[in-house]
Chain A
Amino acid sequence: MNEILIAVIPVVIIGIVCGAVLAIASKVMAVKEDERFPAVRDCLPGANCGACGFAGCDGYAKALCEDPSTPANLCIPGAAGVAKQLGEVLGVEVADVAAQKAVVHCSGSCGHTQDKVVYSGIESCAAAKLLYGGKGSCTFGCLGLGDCAAVCPENAITIRDGVACVSAADCIGCGMCTKACPNRLIALLPATETVVVACSNRDKGAATRKVCDVGCIGCRKCEKACPSGAIKVTGNVARIDYEKCTGCGACAEVCTTKCIVKR
């Protein structure tokens, strides 16, 4: 009996001492969690899309609590509603969020452009791009294998007739697709803008024409037609300066290949 006690008692004592030290330490050295954190986190939509530039909603909420200089209007999916809530929780004035939508700068569907090879590799744009720039004759255009659709958290992108289409109603403007596209065809535009150059082919006009019926040939008709000087052809493809664009659609009317579209 004595031998058992001699073994048990020291272990119990050591256990009690360790437990007591830990209990005291966790009380004395407790780190105060910011009490606003749960409230801030609840305001955010929880899509973890990363559009704010932080590692998910938790990261953004943490940054908001710890660093008062973090703007509260960075959540694009949450738009003005979330920014307003955040402003109330944090007690700061918040500037409005400009809602953004993804647009695809390509309209080369199967009817307008041709395949140069039969591709039977991995079903991924990034992989197809490595193989002679993809199966289509236009190496700048949509590869149509849906890397953008795969990353979209809202399933707002579908591949229709070989070209990615963004459903504006579902798009939350997180910008995941802009990073996924190996040809960088997708860009975020303010939701109010309606005129889009649906082509990214930087080849000269004749070369573009050979590979696609609706490619921008750089004819500069749109430049002349634009009343506000918002459209410029740079690198053989028309680009709209949305600071100046009034959305009149004059460029879309004169466009030779109808690659400028008014939504």
Chain B
Amino acid sequence: MTTFIVILLSAVFVNNYVLTRFLGICPFLGVSKKLDSAVGMSLAVIFVMLMATAATWPIQTFLLTPNNLDYLQTIVFILVIAALVQLVEIVLKRYVPSLHQSLGVYLPLITTNCAVLGVTILNITENYTFAESMVNSLGSGLGFMLAMVMFSGVRSKLEGADIPESFKGLPVTLVAASITSLSFLGFGGVVENMFPV
């Protein structure tokens, strides 16, 4: 149990995908303007991360590793995740239209988002079991959501701020993102010390 909690907490805080690993920066900057779209995007990311891990972990363990095809990992994962997301979209549209309405716009955007691809590959390199991989994906998704929600709050403050002309728009957003990211470096080592192994 402790292992799962450690994996979950370190995925959310210590190894936050956006703010410490710098993966998934594109949606982080692109969709964080409003809180509701940030939440929608994050929910879609959590969903896709879990689905992708559930699909790629067996492929790696039972197909690629036994046949010494580890070097095909990246291309196979991209292929599988892309097809999976498309399939999920079709299924959702048919059977759960309300969920499709709320996730719909964001699903194709994250088809092969680097955070999604990153989590599946890191699950393999960390030698996680299937259950550990799923927990790690959930934690990574939650960490992505945390970063998105926090940063949409920061951006709504920026909108009303008096910013020098040359810093308006993306420059000040990047400065704010770097300061938010700095704050997350403070979590380094916290989880390891909370649960001494």
List residues of A whose CB falls within 8 A of some B CB.
6-7, 10-11, 14-15, 18-19, 21-22, 25-26, 29-31
Contacts and interface: CB of A to CB of B under 8 A. Distances in A.
Contact of A11 (B67, B75, B86, B90): B75
Contact of A25 (B69, B76, B91): B91
B79 interface: yes
B87 interface: yes
A29 B88 CA distance: 11
A228 to B, nearest CB: 51
A40 B72 CA distance: 50
A179 B76 CA distance: 54
Contact of B76 (A6, A14, A19, A26): A14
A19 B93 contact: no
Interface of B: 63, 67, 69, 71-72, 75-76, 79-80, 82-83, 86-87, 90-91, 93-95, 97
A31 B91 contact: no
A26 B83 CA distance: 12
A18 B72 contact: no
A10 B91 contact: no
B122 to A, nearest CB: 21
A29 to B, nearest CB: 4
Q: Give the secondary structure class of A's interface.
A: helix
B90 A18 contact: no
B90 A14 contact: no
Contact of A22 (B63, B67, B83): B83
Instruction: Pick from B63, B79, B82, B91 the residue with the most CB of A within 10 Å.
Output: B79
Contacts of B87: 21-22, 25
Q: Give the secondary structure class of B's interface.
A: helix
B79 A31 contact: no
A10 B97 CA distance: 35
Given A11-B79, A14-B76, A19-B83, A26 B90 contact: yes
A18 B86 CA distance: 10
Given A29-B94, A31-B93, A18 B63 contact: no
A43 B163 CA distance: 47
A18 B90 CA distance: 14
7 contacts: A11-B72, A14-B76, A14-B79, A22-B86, A26-B90, A29-B93, A29-B94
Given A14-B76, A18-B79, A18-B80, A6 B69 contact: yes
Given A7-B71, A7-B72, 15 more contacts: A6-B67, A10-B63, A10-B67, A11-B79, A14-B79, A14-B80, A18-B79, A19-B83, A21-B83, A21-B87, A25-B91, A29-B93, A29-B95, A31-B94, A31-B97
A29 B91 contact: yes
A233 to B, nearest CB: 42
A22 B76 contact: no
A172 B102 CA distance: 34
Nearest to B100: A31
A63 to B, nearest CB: 14
Nearest to A8: B72
B47 to A, nearest CB: 18
5 nearest A-B residue pairs (beta carbon): A18-B83, A29-B94, A25-B90, A29-B90, A31-B93
A212 B80 CA distance: 73
Contacts of A30: 94
Contacts of B83: 18-19, 21-22
Nearest to A18: B83
A15 B72 CA distance: 13
A149 to B, nearest CB: 26
Given A18-B79, A31-B93, A31-B94, A10 B69 contact: yes
B79 A15 contact: yes
Contacts of B75: 11
Nearest to B93: A31
A21 B84 CA distance: 10
A19 B87 CA distance: 10
Contacts of A31: 93-94, 97
A29 B69 CA distance: 34
